[in-house]
Amino acid sequence: MDNLNFDQLMNELSKAVSKLEGGELTLEDAMNEYKRGIDIIKQLNEKLNNAKEQMKVIKFDD
């Protein structure tokens, strides 16, 4: 999942949330899906932080 772009990660997070909200997962599956969601959020935050840093560089280059 490390190779996914921001939009793809958002889509994966949306799928995970839908599964959790569906209420049909076993407790174990729900916990795994929750952990997956947390991992996706971490990747999204990393991508956002990288974008912020790039914007700072672009801003200061002008």
How do residues 46-58 score in pLDDT, each as one tens digit? 999 999 999 988 8
Q: What is the mean pLDDT of residues 7-31?
A: 97
Confidence class for position 62, pLDDT limits 50, 70, 90: low
Measured between alpha carbons, how far is 1 from 52 in angstroms, rounded to an integer?
22
Looking at this protein, which amino acid is placed at residue 29? D
For the chain, what are the domain ranges? 6-61
Q: What predicted TM-score, i.e. pTM, was given to this entire model?
A: 0.85
Cβ 25 vs Cβ 33: under 8 Å: yes
CA nearest 44: which of 18, 11, 15? 11
